Structure formats: structure tokens, C-alpha cells
């Protein structure tokens, strides 16, 4: 039986997640239940959406350093405008998605480094968020709250949502022709251009799609936390990049994996829960998260080597 390289790319992140989950279950067998799983993966949904957004940007060889600030901005809009007057809220979100498309166009036309442009944008989103909510507050829209706290039978909401996100993005990125074009830009811009496609349009579309997923991330986050704050999601910038890499994605070359990205986000979320089960002193929580990141990546290297040895035979 022949396994495609895409599948092998997926095995490694999936194995890391399974290992971590097994460790959690071993330490705390009671986590092996509906409520337990729900608690473990509770915060995974917004992180998974942000990771997918970051993955789209990385698919065209860019990097979005404004992801955390933008998700915070979206969370603030959700908790204020979207809750009070949904029409204005939706308009703001459409504007924000359009802004993402414009950023994509500007980066392409002027050949600017995406890191710097998004760095600048992170200040802009942060400033807008502070203007809306100078202090933590706001209220979640009832439907967002309902969506995030609903309890489907047998499988917790967080896991259902993760599977849906993975399936939808897998279809869009890996199966549709648009997805092929997006990854094509990351792989070889010139050949996409010579084939007669408008690179500007694809790039604008990719950025807009990323903006859309980031908006969803902000909405689901508020659905979980019930209120927002201008700094609520700042760590998402680094979490989303780490999630994509953990999921087997690459910085260049359009090599991304939507299912891997969602698994990467789940792994990172689980790492947080794992540490609280370990009863590690709060001082070392962040450090242990770094150590887990290192261990998982070491595992990935080990499996990669194994795979190469198999191929060599």
C-alpha cells in the first residue's frame, strides 16, 4: 500500500496529539468523559480558527503578525456592536475583511515584507480595539453564547466544531481549484502568473478568506468568554504560527495542511490543560509550554527520520 506524502505529513501531528491526550488520561482518568473532554478542548475552537487564518497567509509565503490584535479587535466588535446592533456589527466585519484584502493587494503590488505591514496593522487593530473597549466589558450575542455552550449528543461541542472546521478548510484548500491556486502562489508565483491567473486577485482573496476565519475566531472566543477586552487574544499571533508549524506546515513553498493546522491548535490547547493537571507551579507554566513545544518538534524530527529510512530501503 502506498501512502501519500500528505498523509505522512498528517500522521506526525496526529501522533503528538494522541500521545499528549494519552498522558492526560493516564494522569486524570476522569478527563475521559464528555464533560472532561469539553473542558480540555474548550478554548480550542477560536485558536483553531485563528490557526487556519494564519495558515492561509502562510500558504502564500507571508506571515501575519497582526493575527492576535485582529482577533482581539473582532472579539471587541462582537461584544459591543454585533451584540447591540447586529447590522452595524456585520458591516464592520465586512469592512475588516475588505481591509485584509487591501493589505494583501498592497503587499503584492509594492512587494513589501508582509511581516512589517502586518506589524503596522497590529497597532491599528489594537488601537481600534482600545477605542471600542477601553476597559474589559461588553456582552456576548445570545446566539454566539448558545452556539459555544450547546451540548450535542455523544461528542462535545469543541470536538464537533474542530472536525467541522478541519473538514471545511480541507475541502477549500486541498480539494477546490481556488485552494490549488492559493497553494500555487506559495509554491511558484511565476508559473501561476504564466498560466494566466491574476495573482493580485488570488492574493486579495486569500487575505480576505484569512480575515473571515479570524472574524469567526473572534466571535467564537466571545461566545466562550461572554465578554471581551482589547488584549484578549494577543497571544494568538504566536499560538497560530506555532499551530501551523506543529501541524506540519512550512513557512515557504505553499506546503500547508488544514487538518494538521487544526490538530496543531488542539495540541497547543491540550498542552495548557496538561500542565494544570501536572500541578506545575504557575511560575513554570509558560516554560513548560515551551518545553512541550520542543518535545513535540523533536518527535516530529524523529518520525521524519524514520520515514526517510523506510523510503531509503
Partner 1 sequence: MTAARLLFTKPWIWSFAATVIVWVVTVLFTGGASSLGLSQAALTFAAFSVIVGIGQMFVITLGPGNIDLSVPATMTLSGTLALKLMDVQDGMILVGLLTSILLGFAIGIGNYALIKLLRIPPIIATLSISFIVQSTAIWANRGLRIKPPEVLASFTTSSLFGIPNIAIVALILSVVAWVLLKKTIYGRWISAIGQSTFAARMTGIPVDGTRLVTYILCAVLASICGYLLASFSGGAALNMGSEYLLMSIAVVVIGGTAVAGGNSNIPGIWGASLFMFLVVSMLNTYGFGAGFRLILTGLIIIAVILVAGGRQSNR
**Binding footprint of partner 1 on the chain (CB under 8 A):** 65, 106, 110-113, 115-117, 119-131, 134, 238, 241-242, 245, 251-252, 283-291, 293-294, 297-298, 301
Cβ 110 to partner 1 shortest distance, Å: 6
Nearer to partner 1, 10 or 246 (CB): 246
Please say which residue, 276 or 285, places its beta carbon nearer to partner 1.
Answer: 285
Is 84 or 286 the residue whose CB approaches partner 1 more closely?
A: 286
C-alpha cell at 281: 507551579
Cβ nearer to partner 1, comparing 220 with 237? 237
Smallest distance from partner 1 to CB 290, Å? 3
CA 62 – CA 250 distance, rounded (Å)? 11
Minimum separation from the CB atom of position 66 to partner 1 (A): 9
3-state SS assignment for residue 228 = strand
CB of 82 to partner 1, least distance (A): 19
- Least distance (Å) between residue 83 CB and partner 1: 20
Cell of 50: 485563528
Query: What's the longest Cα–Cα distance across the chain?
Result: 64
Q: What's the grid cell of residue 131?
A: 477605542
**Helix, coil or strand: residue 234:** coil
| CA 285 and chain centroid, separation | 22
Q: Which is nearer to partner 1, 80 or 220 (CB)?
A: 80
Q: Which residues of 273-301 are buried (b: 16+ CB within 10 A; e: fewer)?
A: bbbeeeeeeeeeeeebbeebbeebeeebe
Amino acid at each position: 500500500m502506498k501512502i501519500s506524502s500528505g498523509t505522512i505529513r498528517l500522521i506526525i501531528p496526529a501522533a503528538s496529539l494522541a500521545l499528549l491526550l494519552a498522558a492526560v488520561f493516564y494522569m486524570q482518568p476522569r478527563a475521559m468523559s464528555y464533560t472532561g473532554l469539553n473542558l480540555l478542548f474548550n478554548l480550542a475552537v477560536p485558536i483553531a480558527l485563528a490557526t487556519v487564518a494564519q495558515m492561509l497567509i502562510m500558504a502564500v509565503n507571508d506571515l501575519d503578525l497582526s493575527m492576535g490584535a485582529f482577533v482581539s479587535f473582532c472579539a471587541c466588535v462582537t461584544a459591543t456592536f454585533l451584540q447591540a446592533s447586529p447590522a452595524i456589527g456585520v458591516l464592520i466585519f465586512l469592512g475588516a475583511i475588505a481591509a485584509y484584502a487591501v493589505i494583501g493587494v498592497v503587499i503584492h503590488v509594492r512587494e513589501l515584507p508582509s511581516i512589517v505591514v502586518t506589524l503596522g496593522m497590529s497597532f491599528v487593530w489594537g488601537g481600534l480595539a482600545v477605542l471600542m473597549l477601553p476597559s474589559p466589558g461588553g456582552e456576548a450575542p445570545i446566539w454566539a453564547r448558545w452556539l459555544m455552550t450547546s451540548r450535542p449528543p455523544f461528542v462535545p461541542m469543541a470536538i464537533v466544531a474542530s472536525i467541522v472546521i478541519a473538514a471545511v478548510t480541507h475541502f477549500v484548500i486541498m480539494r477546490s481549484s481556488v485552494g490549488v491556486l492559493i497553494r500555487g502562489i506559495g509554491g511558484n508565483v511565476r508559473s501561476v502568473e504564466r498560466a494566466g491567473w491574476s495573482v493580485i486577485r488570488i492574493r486579495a482573496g486569500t487575505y480576505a478568506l484569512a480575515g473571515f476565519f479570524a472574524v469567526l475566531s473572534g466571535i467564537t472566543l466571545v461566545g466562550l468568554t461572554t465578554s471581551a477586552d482589547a488584549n484578549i487574544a494577543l497571544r494568538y499571533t504566536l499560538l497560530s504560527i506555532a499551530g501551523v508549524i506543529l501541524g506540519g506546515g512550512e513557512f515557504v513553498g505553499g506546503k500547508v495542511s488544514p487538518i494538521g493546522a487544526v490538530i496543531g491548535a488542539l495540541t497547543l490547547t491540550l498542552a495548557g490543560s496538561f500542565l494544570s493537571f501536572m500541578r506545575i507551579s504557575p511560575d513554570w507554566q509558560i516554560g513548560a509550554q515551551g518545553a512541550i513545544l520542543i518535545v513535540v518538534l523533536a518527535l516530529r524530527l524523529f518520525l521524519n527520520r524514520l520515514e526517510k529510512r523506510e523510503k531509503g530501503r
